[in-house]
Amino acid sequence: MPRKKKQTKPLTGKDLVAKVKQLSDYTREEKAKACGYISADKDGSERIKTIAFLNALLDAEGIDLDSQSPNGNGNSGRKASYKVSVQSNGNILVGRTYTQALELEPGDEFEIAVGRKHIHLTKVA
């Protein structure tokens, strides 16, 4: 039965970035192996953990691929369509998404200007 090699902790952060820059002529797999992103299989063979290496490199560079939505609340939910319909009672409802984007508060007042085929809302100071 093959002896297990002592697992060393893989490089992270600034140390990882520095090592990768140092090994610029190496392949991706060689860089991952040199930075400690390997594991031993049951049969004693080595497995290079390329995805873990690339994720650690992204983290070290401060790149977040799982970022939250642009408004920062983390809820993607429905997207604003920028279209409204006239309701059965004749009202037009402007949703919360639009009022939040404009940083409107309850009680804000607007002047309504009706054109031929449009309505303009102008905030009263």
The answer to whether position 30 is within a domain reads yes
Model pLDDT for residues 7-40, shown as the tens digit of each residue: 678 998 899 999 999 998 999 999 999 999 998 8
Number of domains comprising the chain: 2
Q: Residue 38, CB half-sphere, CA atoms under 13 Å: how many?
A: 19
The answer to whether position 3 is within a domain reads no
Query: Domain holding 90: CATH number?
Result: 2.10.260
Q: What is the largest CA-CA distance in the chain?
A: 86
pTM of this prediction exceeds 0.75: no
The answer to whether position 110 is within a domain reads yes
Q: How many CB atoms lie within 10 A of CB 7?
A: 10
Q: What pLDDT is recorded for position 89?
A: 93
Model pLDDT for residues 47-94, shown as the tens digit of each residue: 999 999 999 999 888 887 776 655 555 555 667 788 888 899 999 888
DSSP three-state, residue 59: helix
The answer to whether position 72 is within a domain reads no
The answer to whether position 73 is within a domain reads no
The answer on 51 and 18 residing in a single domain is: yes
Residue 25 sits in which domain range? 13-61
Task: Read off the amino acid at residue 73.
Answer: N
